[in-house]
Homo-oligomer: A and B are copies of this chain.
């Protein structure tokens, strides 16, 4: 690259882009940690995007109709922090930039949603951003169809690196985007030929352009250091009826004589001497963190550029009917409709009366029939297990290129892509995504599910076939450790309801959750209704509660979740017949019980009686409730799984693996 020629050809652009490069070098150096090469390589592309294309108003980061900008290559976090500072986002002071990666600063190592305005999603784990972006673009299409292009009319731009494109999740994301013909999704590929280990050619020879084309994308390219060429490509990208990949040929660590074009620029500070040399080559005669006033002014003008569009949008929004304004506002705020509470109550009442014997996956469908009628914001789906997950209710319509009002997504066999798209939709706002697969395949979606928790995105995972109760499909499909895995993860409510009433309560909690995602662990097999006495109160909200108390002196407490509540109740019958007073505690959500006041927890789990927990999963974690909550080691036991499952009909498995009412009753007796 001939830097002198670039400087001369377009000095205004050059200085603006170089401001990004200088801040990135300086901040990484000050932190002695971080990734300077990527911001240096993509500064030109980002400058052109923000200056000429991105619709945003730095003074209003939450403007609903802003274009979304997603830095999928999140390790290049200084790129976005520099952009936010330069364009004038209020939170992003120079002080924050100077404290890059330090305790208490908003300039975290990788960009974190909720931590700083202007960061639309948390990135860093590679491939997540580009996959979230598919969800953002889907939400935009859906809301545009619902509320009209006068209030919803924006693009989703992504910067992705080779790492994002090598990750498996990218395959699922680009396949979904291609299928959905998301023309408002534009991915800028930082094609710099370098990964951490060295040249991309060490590990890959994929023709990315051909690959994206094969998935139904429009593919463009540009010289990633030529402002005019970048502008041309971005202009051409807009108005496509397919998602667009722009192959931006760049040099990592652009301008650094010792490190440009090498993995040495990727993840380590350049060093003071190399920074000085590089700045001299740039013609940037300023000390660390110094941005000359004229350059800063030019950038701040870019940040203010969108204010007019924002004002115009406000006027168009104000022209909507009051009802429509209120609905849009409610939807974007993520508030549940007022009617939801009473509808769930009415449903519970009806179920308590009719007491159906159905699988909780079917219970979930019954709840969704109610919910989806009341909540136009729900958008459901499944990773190719629609009929098994029971996620599609009547009249939802299918969301696809021909029907943007459809509310059901056939995600295909893409668990990870589905979870990431759900995160993106929820982050965009205006829709409430839920999606299903088999509980065991949370394994495939873990990367994105963890980010739901870390970001505090209230999506709902409908995970059916939640134990050996699925039967013949065998151990590859039978979760045993997954409840523990999910319970071990911070900020996720794991619901394992025992009947249709609890399922309705769990759904109500999921749909009204503000910043905690929910997992519904649901059965394949039929279960009776235990909650036959209608309670207005949402008992599941307490996490655990007394489902049936002891007749006579309380000698034993049985704790169970989901399908094993039936076993606990049958064990109670056996024990009571022998005169052993037995309480059954239904325990649908550990996390919520943990949050209860001690007095309530003490009421449910008093000291004294024998305790037996029963769950068709491994014991890991149960000690908390067996011993840790006024229990005693010598007076407690667990009935459940000790290893992976097996292939056989469900009743055989429960019997052969010893998860039966008889086994529970025997345990109690042996401990008395």
| Chain A interface residues (CB < 8 Å from chain B) | 31, 33-34, 74, 101-105, 108-110, 112, 122-126, 162-163, 166-172, 175-176, 178-179, 195-198, 202-208, 210-211, 213-216, 382, 384-388, 398, 410-417, 440-441, 443-444, 446-447, 450-451, 453-454, 471-477, 480-481, 484-485, 487-491, 618, 620-621, 623-624, 627-628, 630-631, 633, 642-644, 646-649, 652-653, 656
Complex CA–CA separation, A300 to B628 (angstroms): 61
B contact residues around A475 at 8 Å (CB): 108, 112, 454
Known: A454-B475, A620-B624. 9 other contacts (CB 8 A): A123-B476, A167-B168, A167-B172, A170-B171, A444-B446, A485-B488, A490-B643, A620-B620, A628-B633
User: Shortest beta-carbon distance, A135 to chain B, in Å?
Assistant: 15
B contact residues around A441 at 8 Å (CB): 125, 447
Complex contact B414–A166 (CB within 8 A): yes
Complex CA–CA separation, A340 to B416 (angstroms): 41
Complex contact B175–A206 (CB within 8 A): yes
Complex contact B124–A203 (CB within 8 A): no
Complex contact B197–A207 (CB within 8 A): no
Given contacts A109-B477, A489-B481, is CB(A210)–CB(B214) below 8 Å?
Answer: yes
Complex contact B488–A648 (CB within 8 A): no
User: Shortest beta-carbon distance, A393 to chain B, in Å?
Assistant: 15
Complex contact A413–B162 (CB within 8 A): yes
Pick from B178, B204, B446, B490: contact of A205, CB under 8 Å: B178
Chain B residue at minimum C-beta to C-beta distance from A174: B206
Chain B residue at minimum C-beta to C-beta distance from A168: B168
Given contacts A167-B414, A175-B166, A414-B168, is CB(A444)–CB(B633) below 8 Å?
Answer: no
User: Shortest beta-carbon distance, A426 to chain B, in Å?
Assistant: 18
Complex contact A103–B413 (CB within 8 A): no
User: Shortest beta-carbon distance, A287 to chain B, in Å?
Assistant: 23
Complex contact B443–A447 (CB within 8 A): yes
A-B complex: 8 closest residue pairs judged by Cβ atoms: A168-B168, A203-B412, A171-B171, A109-B474, A124-B476, A103-B648, A210-B214, A484-B488
B contact residues around A631 at 8 Å (CB): 633
- What is the total number of copies of this protein in its complex? 2
Complex contact B167–A413 (CB within 8 A): yes
B contact residues around A621 at 8 Å (CB): 484, 488, 620-621, 623
Complex CA–CA separation, A511 to B123 (angstroms): 36
Complex CA–CA separation, A103 to B651 (angstroms): 11
Complex contact A110–B477 (CB within 8 A): yes
Complex contact B195–A413 (CB within 8 A): yes
Chain B residue at minimum C-beta to C-beta distance from A621: B620
Complex CA–CA separation, A579 to B416 (angstroms): 54
Complex CA–CA separation, A451 to B633 (angstroms): 33
A-B contact pairs, 27 of them (CB 8 A): A31-B472, A102-B652, A103-B648, A105-B647, A108-B475, A108-B646, A110-B473, A112-B475, A124-B474, A125-B441, A125-B443, A163-B413, A167-B415, A168-B414, A171-B171, A179-B205, A179-B206, A195-B413, A203-B410, A205-B216, A207-B214, A207-B215, A454-B644, A480-B490, A487-B620, A490-B618, A620-B620
B contact residues around A628 at 8 Å (CB): 623, 627, 633
Complex contact B618–A623 (CB within 8 A): no
Complex CA–CA separation, A167 to B445 (angstroms): 11
Complex contact B203–A214 (CB within 8 A): no
User: Shortest beta-carbon distance, A400 to chain B, in Å?
Assistant: 8
User: Shortest beta-carbon distance, A516 to chain B, in Å?
Assistant: 12
Chain B residue at minimum C-beta to C-beta distance from A628: B623
Chain B residue at minimum C-beta to C-beta distance from A474: B109
Complex contact B413–A33 (CB within 8 A): no
Complex CA–CA separation, A112 to B453 (angstroms): 34
